[in-house]
């Protein structure tokens, strides 16, 4: 479980997050939705400590992340996996080396054990015989799946996904979404997904929070979001031609 | 002025993170060997080419400027040796390396920054500054003196080839000039400068790459800044070190 309490974050004079509080539950896919520029990515980067919050507290299962020093954060981060928007695979390493990287860094496993683990997680994300390929040789969907494999290689307790579907076709997006949900339930981890893709919301949104202009506007799930009377959320959910026609 | 202090402060803070114990010795050793190859061995060609031709030019210019019969022709060898060892190899080659190696370091780390690869390292709990910059600094400090000694040797060789090929100075005169009044301290002076310049090139370029924000355009700007600032700092430190070590 991850809890954010009264988070505030500004850049220069621009107030990006305003008193944001939310609870992300274990074993569920917690979605943060909102328009581009609404503060989703900033909130996620605050949660993982890539940005320091100006005010407020962040708790990882009752461990206060905001008061931790550099070393304590380093230790906690070994329990965190993150899937970045572009995958963030290391260009100089092939798929196997990318996935093996955290194992090389933080475990004392033998090469054989590490290779077994790599093959296991690659198989888990439905990738076979790609170990020797370089990131530049992979498609967008494959890059995302390798990034997921790397994120789960160390058996994380917390999984963060920043716009996992960006740049992917709807079918591949669906595959990635379901993979994230399966992994969340299988390993009983706390997963937080940043997205503005309504397909993701409706298929994997166990819990959904809607952010508008840095403020938390609405909380619910994939069922309640379609029947909300919140005008701002309605504008977001039914903002496209397709969804508005479907609503009619 | 405030910007200079802010940037210097950020640089010092980054170096504090860089100079920590590497996470794993085996990984660090592998990275070090890779960087020695990328930053040093890959620069051998350009260093050899420039050193040979510059040595030849220094020798030819010196020979053409000696028109007094009282000055022995061995002076050509002496001048070539002194110019190459004292200034050309440690300073000019370091400036060339600032361009070649500095832009490589800044663009590599800058690209990793804008494609979130550095964020990925941080999320995993890796000290990204130490992991990315420390091996480059150590590799530069180890390999640059080797490159400079290689450059000294080739520079003098270039001078000798030019003199014997043009017939301006005989081999005997040239070699006598090279050997006359040789002080081992000049090599120490040159290598001390080289080590300081190697640190400047790798750390300043690493800093500008690490601080990159934005996209491809900013990576290019970081690369340019790395080369310009490394070169300016090298020139400043050249004066300071020469004053300290030779007076």
Which residue in the set B24, B116, B117 is minimally distant from A105, CB to CB? B24
At A173, the pLDDT band (50, 70, 90 cuts) reads confident
Interatomic CA distance for residues B86 and B92, integer angstroms: 10
- Residue A214: CB atoms within 10 A of its CB come to 23
- Contact flag B120-A77 (C-beta cutoff 8 Å): no
Quick one: pLDDT at residue B155? 97
Quick one: pLDDT at residue A120? 92
Residue A200, pLDDT > 90, answer: no
Please answer whether residues B151 and B40 qualify as being in contact, where contact means their C-beta atoms are separated by less than 8 angstroms: no
Interface check A114 vs B, CB under 8 A: no
Quick one: pLDDT at residue B141? 97
A6: left (phi over 0), alpha (psi -120 to 50) or beta: left
Which residue in the set B116, B122, B123 is minimally distant from A86, CB to CB? B116
Q: Which residue of A has its CA nearest to B125?
A: A74
At A71, the pLDDT band (50, 70, 90 cuts) reads confident
Size of interface A-B (CB pairs under 8 A): 57
Quick one: pLDDT at residue A227? 81
- Collect all residues with Cβ–Cβ distance below 8 Å to B149 and sequence separation of at least 6: B191
Q: What ipTM was reported for this prediction?
A: 0.88
At A191, the pLDDT band (50, 70, 90 cuts) reads very high
Q: What backbone torsions phi and psi does residue B54 show, to the nearest 5 degrees?
A: -65, -40
Q: What is the pLDDT of residues A127-169, one digit of tens each?
A: 989 999 999 999 988 999 999 999 999 989 999 999 888 888 8
- Contact flag A50-B122 (C-beta cutoff 8 Å): yes
Which residue in the set A50, A75, A84 is minimally distant from B125, CB to CB? A75
Give A-chain residues touching B117 at CB under 8 angstroms: 88-91
Interatomic CA distance for residues B86 and B245, integer angstroms: 11
Residue A190, pLDDT > 90, answer: yes
Radius of gyration of chain B (CA): 21
SS3 A31: strand
Please answer whether residues B76 and B59 qualify as being in contact, where contact means their C-beta atoms are separated by less than 8 angstroms: yes
Range name among A21-30, A83-92, A225-234, B55-64 with the lowest pLDDT average:
A225-234
Give A-chain residues touching B125 at CB under 8 angstroms: 73-78, 80, 105-106
Closest-CA residue to A176 (of A47, A77, A32, A29): A29
Q: Which residue of B has its CA nearest to A44?
A: B123
Quick one: pLDDT at residue A198? 84
Tell me, rounded to whole angstroms, the distance of Cα B26 from its chain centroid. 27
Interatomic CA distance for residues A224 and B15, integer angstroms: 51
- Contact flag B115-A86 (C-beta cutoff 8 Å): yes
- Contact flag B127-A101 (C-beta cutoff 8 Å): no
Q: Which residue of A has its CA nearest to B131?
A: A105
What is the four-CA torsion angle of B111, B114, B120, B126, rounded to 10 degrees?
Answer: 60
- Contact flag A77-B124 (C-beta cutoff 8 Å): yes
Q: Mean pLDDT of all residues in chain A? A: 89
- Give the number of domains in chain A: 1
The residue range of the domain holding A51 is 2-247
Q: What is the sign of the dihedral through the CA atoms of B75, B81, B83 and B84?
A: positive
């640059």: which residue's tokens?
Answer: B144
pTM score: 0.90
At A12, the pLDDT band (50, 70, 90 cuts) reads confident
CATH (domain of A131):
3.40.50.300
- Determine the distance in angstroms separating the CA of B19 from the nearest CA of chain A, rounded to an integer: 15
Interatomic CA distance for residues B120 and A216, integer angstroms: 27
Give B-chain residues touching A105 at CB under 8 angstroms: 23-24, 27, 124-126
Quick one: pLDDT at residue A126? 87
Question: Which two structure tokens, joined as six digits, stand for A87?
Answer: 């995958």
- Contact flag B116-A106 (C-beta cutoff 8 Å): no
Residue of B28, B123, B130 best to disrupt the A interface, most CBs of A under 10 A:
B123
Cβ neighbourhood burial of A31 (10 Å; 0-12, 13-18, 19+): buried
Please answer whether residues A190 and A157 qualify as being in contact, where contact means their C-beta atoms are separated by less than 8 angstroms: yes
Interface check A104 vs B, CB under 8 A: yes
SS3 B195: helix
Please answer whether residues B116 and A88 qualify as being in contact, where contact means their C-beta atoms are separated by less than 8 angstroms: yes
- Return per-residue pLDDT of chain B as tens, 247 residues: 788 899 999 999 999 999 999 989 999 999 999 999 999 999 999 999 999 999 999 999 999 998 888 889 999 999 999 999 999 999 999 999 999 999 999 999 999 999 999 999 999 989 999 999 999 999 999 999 999 999 999 999 999 999 999 999 999 999 999 999 999 999 999 999 999 999 999 999 999 999 999 999 999 999 999 999 999 999 999 999 999 998 7
Quick one: pLDDT at residue A150? 94
Q: Which residue of A has its CA nearest to B127?
A: A74
């Amino acid at each position: 479980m991850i809890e954010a309490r009264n988070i505030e974050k500004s850049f220069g004079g621009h107030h990006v997050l305003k008193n944001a509080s939310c609870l992300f539950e274990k074993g569920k896919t917690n979605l943060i939705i909102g328009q581009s520029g609404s503060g989703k990515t900033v909130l996620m980067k605050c949660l993982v400590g890539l940005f320091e919050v100006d005010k407020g507290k962040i708790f990882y299962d009752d461990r206060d992340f905001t008061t931790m020093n550099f070393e304590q954060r380093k230790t906690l981060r070994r329990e965190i996996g993150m899937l970045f928007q572009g995958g963030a695979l290391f260009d100089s390493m092939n798929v196997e080396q990318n996935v093996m990287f955290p194992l090389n860094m933080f475990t004392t496993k033998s090469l054989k054990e590490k290779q077994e683990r790599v093959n296991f997680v690659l198989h888990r994300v439905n990738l076979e015989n790609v170990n020797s390929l370089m990131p530049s040789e992979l498609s967008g969907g494959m890059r995302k799946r390798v990034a997921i494999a790397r994120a789960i290689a160390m058996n994380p307790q917390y999984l963060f996904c920043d716009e996992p579907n960006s740049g992917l076709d709807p079918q591949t997006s669906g595959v990635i979404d379901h993979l994230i949900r399966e992994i969340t339930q299988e390993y009983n981890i706390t997963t937080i997904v940043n997205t503005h893709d309504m397909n993701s919301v409706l298929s994997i949104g166990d819990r959904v929070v809607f952010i508008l202009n840095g403020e938390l506007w609405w909380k619910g799930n994939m069922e309640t979001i379609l029947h909300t009377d919140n005008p701002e959320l309605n504008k977001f959910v039914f903002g496209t031609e397709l969804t508005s026609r479907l609503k009619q | 002025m405030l910007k200079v202090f802010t940037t210097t402060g950020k640089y010092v803070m980054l170096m504090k993170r860089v100079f920590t114990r590497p996470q794993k010795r085996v990984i660090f050793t592998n990275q070090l060997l890779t960087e020695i190859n990328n930053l040093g061995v890959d620069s051998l060609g350009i260093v050899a080419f420039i050193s040979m031709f510059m040595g030849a030019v220094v020798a030819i210019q010196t020979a053409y400027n000696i028109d007094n019969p009282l000055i022995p022709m061995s002076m050509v060898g002496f001048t070539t040796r002194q110019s190459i060892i004292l200034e050309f190899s440690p300073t000019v080659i370091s400036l060339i390396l600032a361009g070649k190696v500095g832009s490589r370091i800044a663009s590599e780390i800058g690209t990793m920054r804008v494609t979130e690869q550095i964020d990925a390292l941080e999320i995993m709990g890796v000290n990204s500054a130490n992991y990315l910059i420390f091996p480059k600094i150590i590799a530069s400090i180890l390999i640059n003196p080797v490159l400079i000694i290689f450059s000294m040797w080739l520079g003098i060789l270039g001078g000798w080839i030019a003199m014997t090929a043009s017939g301006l100075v005989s081999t005997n005169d040239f070699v006598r000039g090279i050997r006359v009044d040789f002080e081992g301290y000049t090599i120490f002076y040159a290598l001390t400068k080289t080590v300081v310049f190697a640190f400047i090139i790798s750390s300043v370029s690493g800093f500008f790459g690490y601080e990159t924000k934005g996209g491809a355009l900013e990576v290019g700007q970081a690369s340019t800044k790395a080369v310009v600032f490394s070169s300016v700092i090298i020139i400043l430190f050249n004066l300071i070190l020469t004053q300290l070590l030779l007076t």
